Structure 1
Amino acid sequence: MTVLVYEDFGTGRHREASLIRHALGSVHDEELVAGLAGGVGFMYFVFEYEGRLPILTIVAQSHPEPWVQVALGRLGVPYEATRAMNPRWGRVRAALDGGQPAFCVVDRSSLPWHAADPDAEMTGTDPYTVVIAGYDGDDLLVEDGAPTPYRIGREEFGAAWTAHRKGRHQLIVPTGPAEGEPDVDGALASTVTHLTGAVLGNAFDVNFGFTGMEKLAAELRDATTRTGWERRFGGSPEALRAGTGRLYACLEEEWTAPGATRPLYADFLDRVGRPEAAGLFRESAGHWAELAMLGRDADPQADAEERRALFDACAEHVDRCLELEREAVRALEK
């Protein structure tokens, strides 16, 4: 017996926004879902482990609140969110039989259609959401960005579900239709707060929002200290390739929509009647995209002078993004 609770698959511009849109019957536009989930944000860290190259991480979307729960809440869609010691297969089956999808938070690298994670320390640490959209006998039909659902055995999926250590066996099931109007004002206020204020409420807040952008620009220009890009990523072609390659991936591919999520968010702002801020974020998107291209096209064999020119050019784009987005926030606060 085959059960499939929806038939619209594939990723538009943002993977998780597309998952939510499809799971709710494709009745909401992707930009509305993304904007209500918080839209844009900024987080910048460089993780360092002994014996490994530094790992650059930039998250250009709203973070760290979970997109599924936030989007459902602001859409007014009731849902049930649970965690358990073991997979709740009975609840999953009941949801699907009742016509409701099941959002699950898993370890991405444990899914067979993704490559294994070479950074063992990071495996299972970041939440990665997929949707169980149906089943066929003992196989699950899972949406994860492809034009058709992936087929995977229940036990193999269960291993990926278990491997995400921080949110083991997290399950989110919508339980009814939307109630009331979308909370646009709450979403806009959240975006402003994530760019300008405290996000975590601790010392790591310096890595978020506008202060995170300032930190990135400063470290790109820093040619002398151990936290500057010259010392972190300029020591070998492999290190430079690692840093600049991650710059492209983080702004165009991972935890983002293209252009650091700014074009998608600008479309949301146009949709909800905030054209001034939309135009500013759209202009900022061009600079984020240029920054990503500089990273993608960087020569790993660049000498010190060429690296200095590259890092300075990158910093100038970050500066311009910061100027534009501060102006955009002022427009949103009017």
Structure 2
Amino acid sequence: MAASTSLGKERGMGTLPGQLYRKCGVRPPGYPGRMLLYEDFGTERHRESSLVRHALGSTHDEALVAGLAGGIGFMYFVFEYTGRPPQLTIVAQAHPDPWIRSALDRLRVPYDVAHSARPHWGRVHAALDAGRPVFCTVDRSGLPWHGPGDEMAGADPYTVVLAGYEGDTLYVEDEARTPYRIPEEEFGAAWSGHRKGRHEMIVPTGPATGDPDVAGALAATAARLTGPVLGNRFDVNFGFSGMEKLAAHLRDTRTRTGWQRRFAAPEAFLAGTRRLYACLEREWTAPGATRPLYADFLDLVGRPAAAALFRESAGHWSRLAELARTAGPDPDAGARRTLFDEFATLVEHSLDLERRAVALL
């Protein structure tokens, strides 16, 4: 694709940003006394995409990184546990492929992946000393700036970047405009807390070896939305099938899986609506169910018609999120029915628009 050629240009003479700082024997500007590998921090619209962008020297547009990683998707589940309100989960970004690896693969950036039974600090220091940021998958609740969270939080992979160190203190990028300082021992506990990750380290090892794989990214997004995704019975919860299932559950007034019964209790209703807002605007997504960011990517790679449809769809997702956020804590059955019908209509509008958009990718 012609658009991808200009997108592949690299700054920094083909060198990772941290390697430039090390070669010059200076510390990054604005951070006197701190051995950081780069100077741009903080989430723009999408956390993981910003991590990749900054770790690679802020060379690429955030929308490009997000789109190459897969951009958008849809997963819908409601989990029920004894003594707790139903737990709604919607993932609106590309899922379940690992975001960081997908982004690096399609940016054509080489990287090493390592796992270990315990934190391997020698390996971490060697990478940072070589000017290479380290992506680590941790238990978010073990990071002090997040505070204690749900007891199941450690099961969710949460990626941060080690952007430097000084003695036994690490500098961690995770959303904020400045890196967090944390002792190695404390970070190690959070790293170990995500047991499935096995202390995963992803370390970019050099500049891009070619132009971004735009065609592969577009094909992956289309396949993820049209399915199958997993190749098993849970595929009905993914992509357009997942949107259809959500709309059906919202309109269902008879069965226990319908929202009218499942979220009837005040505690369940409040938990469900607040969670719905968070899933579409804040958690595992960029605002607007990631659709505006993906539309920007499509503009970058020459798909303006599809971009316009996804932007229109984003308006429906954000309207749905706002209705959920502002819903009263204890509506009666009639008010719940009206609200859930409005939710369903918005989902159906988005589904129609996105089916048309995918046909244009």
Q: Within 5 Å, give how 1:261-272 maps onto structure 2.
A: 261-272=290-301
Can you list the C-alpha shifts for 1:253-274, whole angstroms capped at 9, x where unaligned?
0000000000000000000000
Letter in 2 for 1:249: A
Q: Within 5 Å, give how 1:235-246 maps onto structure 2.
A: 236-246=265-275
Between the aligned partners of 2:34 and 2:336, the Cα distance in structure 1 is: 56
Q: Pick from 249, 254, 269: which aligns with 2:283?
A: 254
Between the aligned partners of 1:62 and 1:266, the Cα distance in structure 2 is: 14
Could you say which residue in structure 2 is the equivalent of 1:321? 350
SS in 2 for 1:141: strand
Could you say which residue in structure 1 is the equivalent of 2:239? 209
Q: Within 5 Å, give how 1:118-197 maps onto structure 2.
A: 118=150, 120=151, 122-197=152-227
Could you say which residue in structure 1 is the equivalent of 2:20? none
Could you say which residue in structure 1 is the equivalent of 2:21? none
Between the aligned partners of 2:129 and 2:34, the Cα distance in structure 1 is: 10
Could you say which residue in structure 2 is the equivalent of 1:296? 325
Q: Within 5 Å, give how 1:30-109 maps onto structure 2.
A: 30-109=62-141
Could you say which residue in structure 2 is the equivalent of 1:276? 305
CA contact (8 A) 1:100 1:173 kept: yes
Can you list the C-alpha shifts for 1:43-66, whole angstroms capped at 9, x where unaligned?
000011011111100000000111
Between the aligned partners of 1:276 and 1:147, the Cα distance in structure 2 is: 34
SS in 2 for 1:32: helix
SS in 1 for 2:74: strand
SS in 2 for 1:173: strand
Between the aligned partners of 1:225 and 1:165, the Cα distance in structure 2 is: 37
> 1:115, CA displacement in angstroms?
2.6
Q: Pick from 246, 262, 266: which aligns with 1:232?
A: 262
Cα RMSD over matched residues? 0.8
Between the aligned partners of 1:319 and 1:39, the Cα distance in structure 2 is: 20
% of aligned pairs identical? 70
When normalised by structure 1's length, the TM-score is 0.97
> 1:237, CA displacement in angstroms?
1.5
1:114 matched to 2:143: no
Letter in 1 for 2:89: T
Between the aligned partners of 1:162 and 1:90, the Cα distance in structure 2 is: 16
Between the aligned partners of 1:198 and 1:319, the Cα distance in structure 2 is: 20
Between the aligned partners of 1:167 and 1:279, the Cα distance in structure 2 is: 38
Between the aligned partners of 2:322 and 2:253, the Cα distance in structure 1 is: 22
1:221 matched to 2:256: no
CA contact (8 A) 1:15 1:145 kept: yes
Can you list the C-alpha shifts for 1:109-151, whole angstroms capped at 9, x where unaligned?
1111113123x2x221111000000012210000000000000
CA contact (8 A) 1:2 1:137 kept: no
How many residues in Structure 1 have an aligned counterpart in Structure 2?
329
SS in 2 for 1:44: strand
Between the aligned partners of 2:234 and 2:154, the Cα distance in structure 1 is: 21
Between the aligned partners of 1:278 and 1:300, the Cα distance in structure 2 is: 36
> 1:210, CA displacement in angstroms?
0.2
Q: Which runs of 5+ in 2 are unaligned?
A: 1-32
Letter in 1 for 2:36: L
When normalised by structure 2's length, the TM-score is 0.90
* Greater than 4 Å deviation, 4+ residue runs: none
Between the aligned partners of 1:112 and 1:34, the Cα distance in structure 2 is: 27
> 1:2, CA displacement in angstroms?
3.9
Can you list the C-alpha shifts for 1:229-257, whole angstroms capped at 9, x where unaligned?
011111x2211100000010000000000
Letter in 2 for 1:133: A
CA contact (8 A) 1:3 1:97 kept: no
Letter in 1 for 2:262: R
Letter in 2 for 1:10: G
Q: Which runs of 5+ in 1 are unaligned?
A: none
